Chains A and B, each alone.
Chain A
């Protein structure tokens, strides 16, 4: 978790505390897109970070092959949280799905799945 990752730090995304699996993205005006709403690119960038961290934890190296992103609700001017799960893992492929929310985990604002080619 201490590896340098400038983009993550610039967004202000924080990795989960030990024993937890929730990443957080504290709200800042630099995350805004259209007035009153977070930029879709910032939400996507956050979820990519969260997916990559999950893939990293598997070990052995991985390169993203495809990303699918769904925006479910507008991201408002408040803190955002996310977790990721491994959906499939073979010798060649890794499929990770992440979900982001603000109010509560059962009201996700976005979800992303990334398929990685393992090295």
Chain B
């Protein structure tokens, strides 16, 4: 596949977020800038956690942040280049409430092999989790 110059974040999201696990979770494009992507995890009681209060499961927020991080890499390099998540860390600041969550992630460093991102999940204006992750470009060696 020929790699296209210029990465259209909303257009990519319209296609990619409509498939498989991203579609299941209902992830939606919100906003972007160079190296910055914001996605929304809509509230759905089907994705509530174990607390019995209707709050979203941590796993749902992990999917949101991993996807926003993934796309932020392509936004920074302004082209599609396949990669895989190799690790992430999350600081849980508050339990996710029974409300939509916004994931805002920035890709702050890229080299030949790795891309690094960090970001935050918000419920309204309240941060619920901080995220950092590393992605490895595939097919490098």
A residues whose Cβ falls under 8 Å from a Cβ of B: 3-8, 10-11, 29-34, 37-42, 44-46, 48-49, 52, 56, 63-71, 74
Contact A10 B21 (CB under 8 A): no
Q: Out of A7, A31, A66, which one reaches B90, CB within 8 Å?
A: A66
Residues of B within 8 A of A74 (CB): 84
Which of the residues A10, A30, A70 comes within 8 Å of B47, measured between beta carbons? A10
Q: Does any Cβ of A come within 8 Å of B86's Cβ?
A: yes
Task: Check if A42 sits within 8 Å of B52, measured CB to CB.
Answer: no
- State A48–B57 Cα separation when bound (angstroms): 9
- The residue of chain B having its C-beta at the shortest distance from the C-beta of A9 within the complex is B46
Contact A69 B52 (CB under 8 A): no
Report A-chain residues with C-beta under 8 Å of the C-beta of B21. 30-33, 38-39, 41-42
CB within 8 A of A44: which of B19, B50, B62?
B62
Q: How far is the CA of A70 from the CA of B88 in the complex (A)?
A: 7
